[in-house]
């Protein structure tokens, strides 16, 4: 059964595992033991649920997109509103869970990597709330693209560490966070932001994100035909999909095609990648014939990652989830469309899912229903959007 994965070795079919330096093996074992204990502990779970509700603002609404539905004339379109969560994206669900665990383990220093800055902001936020110190590793290119989020993290009291190796994006920030963790694993907790990394991270992050899918199940009284979510590392998608894996609903993950999957500039890991090891996990990744990792590209910093969570790799291989890709231009167009049709400005990441859903909804019949996970809001993307739409002549 897909829902019973991973096995005790952290495997999802062929994928997953722990490909890390020996120094990290004991800390990972310690983490796994502490996690399993916490997830059995009523008090811990109550605290997690309490914080999600009273602090983060769960449950997030399910909005019927009536105007977009009417415009397209096909399937009934519902939006899961993770954009309304505190800090502006689904990332906080996981950050709260892991930070509570860190505190329970007696570790009061957390480190995190961030691409778009949403996970960095979520980490900085919970660190402030729980009284933990927080260092966020961020690529210098992403610091440039996501200036606003960098300032938010600083305002929240976190230290932002600029990473200049590689392309200065999420992959490089993750490398540097892992290196720092190797040196400081005894008293630091590494709060990974996606369903990537060595076991037990992909499982832990999924379990802290599945609330998205669990709520969706409760909120939707009608039968769902398809669910759409964007995929970089894949945490919002797995959080949405996991509770539906054994149900009869089509699941669609959308990767970033950047300037097109036939150009070198994309981040479509499953569409174009091959199996390999990245950041401690066996999964699909973008690499050359010698096994060197290729720098990805996407206009959305949150999808600009050459790997993908190992559970997605397995869902791809077993064909349980269909994976598609959407270009920069298509995503930007979807940002505008949803903004004008529904008064909701989505994050560029989430707009990838919206763009794919728009393509498919109009081919579907009006008695069919789809749900799109709007994983985050577009506030952080204003500079990029302004640049693009001003060029386009938007007044």
Partner 1 sequence: MMKQQTLFQGKLTREKDLFIPFIVAGDPDADKTVQYALRLQEAGADILELGVPYSDPLADGPVIQKAAKRALDAGMSLRKSVRMVPELRKAGVTIPIVIFTYYNPVLQYGHEAFIADLVENGVEGLLIPDLPLEESEELNVRTKEKDIELISLVAPTSDERIKRIAEQARGFLYCVSSLGVTGERKEMAPETLSFIEKVKEHSSVPVAVGFGISSNDQVRLMREHADGFIIGSKIVKLIEASLELEKNENEQAGLTFFSDELRKLVQE
Q: Which is nearer to partner 1, 198 or 253 (CB)?
A: 198
Q: Is 223 a residue that touches partner 1 (CB under 8 A)?
A: no
Strand partners, 59: none
Here the tokens at position 244 are: 């539906």
Query: How far is it between the farthest Cα atoms of the chain?
Result: 57
Q: Which is nearer to partner 1, 26 or 70 (CB)?
A: 26
Catalytic residue among 18, 80, 91, 107: 91
- Tokens 């990744």, residue? 285
Q: Is 29 a catalytic residue?
A: no
Separation between Cα atoms, residue 254 and residue 328, nearest integer Å: 12
The H or E element that residue 143 is part of is helix 140-145
Closest by CA to 158, choosing from 122, 192, 201, 185, is 122
Q: Is 61 a residue that touches partner 1 (CB under 8 A)?
A: no
Region of residue 97 (phi > 0: left; psi between -120 and 50: alpha; otherwise: beta): alpha
Separation between Cα atoms, residue 212 and residue 339, nearest integer Å: 22
Q: Is 375 a catalytic residue?
A: yes
**Among 24, 112, 238, 245, which residue sits at the site for partner 1 (rule: CB under 8 A)?**
24
Q: Is 300 a catalytic residue?
A: no
Separation between Cα atoms, residue 115 and residue 119, nearest integer Å: 8
Q: Tell me the window of 37-45, 236-244, 274-282, 339-347 that interacts with partner 1 (CB under 8 A).
A: 274-282
**Among 6, 18, 82, 145, which residue sits at the site for partner 1 (rule: CB under 8 A)?**
18
Q: Tell me the window of 73-81, 207-215, 268-276, 327-335 that interacts with partner 1 (CB under 8 A).
A: 268-276
**Among 6, 59, 97, 166, which residue sits at the site for partner 1 (rule: CB under 8 A)?**
166
Here the tokens at position 239 are: 């959080």
Catalytic residue among 32, 113, 141, 311: 113
**Among 158, 163, 204, 278, which residue sits at the site for partner 1 (rule: CB under 8 A)?**
278
Q: Is 283 a residue that touches partner 1 (CB under 8 A)?
A: no
Q: At what angle do helices 91-104 and 118-130 cross, to 10 degrees?
A: 40
**Among 26, 70, 382, 383, which residue sits at the site for partner 1 (rule: CB under 8 A)?**
26
Q: Give contact residues for partner 1 (rule: CB under 8 A).
A: 9, 17-27, 165-166, 171, 175, 178-179, 182-186, 274-280, 282, 287, 289-293
Catalytic positions, written as ranges: 91, 113, 375
């Amino acid at each position: 059964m897909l829902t019973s994965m991973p096995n005790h070795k952290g495997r999802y079919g062929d994928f997953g595992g722990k490909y890390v330096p020996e120094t990290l093996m004991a800390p990972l074992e310690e983490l796994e033991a502490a996690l399993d204990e916490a997830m059995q502990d009523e008090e811990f779970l109550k605290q997690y649920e309490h914080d999600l509700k009273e602090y983060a603002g769960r449950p997030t609404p399910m909005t019927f997109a009536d105007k977009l539905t009417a415009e397209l004339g096909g399937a009934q379109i519902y939006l899961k509103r993770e954009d309304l969560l505190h800090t502006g994206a689904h990332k906080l669900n996981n950050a709260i869970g892991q930070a509570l665990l860190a505190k329970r383990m007696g570790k009061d220093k957390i480190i995190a990597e961030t691409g778009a800055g949403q996970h960095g902001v979520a980490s900085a936020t919970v660190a402030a709330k729980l009284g933990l110190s927080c260092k966020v590793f961020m690529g210098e290119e992403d610091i440039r693209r996501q200036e606003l989020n960098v300032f938010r993290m600083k305002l929240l009291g976190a230290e932002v560490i600029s990473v200049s190796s590689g392309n200065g994006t999420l992959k490089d920030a993750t490398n540097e966070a892992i290196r720092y963790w190797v040196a400081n694993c005894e008293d630091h907790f590494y709060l990974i932001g996606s369903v990537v990394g060595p076991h037990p991270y992909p499982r832990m992050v999924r379990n802290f994100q599945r609330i998205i899918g669990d709520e969706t199940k409760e909120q939707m009284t009608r039968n769902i035909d398809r669910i759409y979510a964007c995929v970089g590392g894949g945490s919002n998608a797995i959080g949405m999909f996991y509770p539906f894996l054994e149900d009869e609903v089509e699941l669609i993950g959308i990767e970033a095609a950047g300037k097109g999957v036939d150009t070198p500039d994309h981040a479509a890991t499953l569409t174009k990648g091959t199996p390999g090891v990245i950041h401690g996990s066996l999964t699909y990744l973008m690499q050359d014939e010698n096994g060197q990792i290729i720098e990805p590209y996407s206009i959305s910093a949150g999808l600009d990652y050459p790997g993908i969570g190992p559970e997605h790799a397995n869902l791809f291989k077993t064909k349980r989830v269909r994976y598609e890709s959407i270009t920069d231009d298509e995503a930007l167009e979807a940002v505008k469309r949803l903004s004008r049709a529904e008064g909701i400005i989505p994050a560029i990441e989430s707009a990838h899912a919206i763009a794919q859903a728009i393509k498919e909804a109009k081919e579907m019949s009006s008695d069919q229903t789809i749900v799109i996970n709007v994983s985050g809001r577009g506030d952080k993307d204003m500079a990029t959007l302004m640049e693009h739409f001003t060029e386009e002549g938007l007044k």
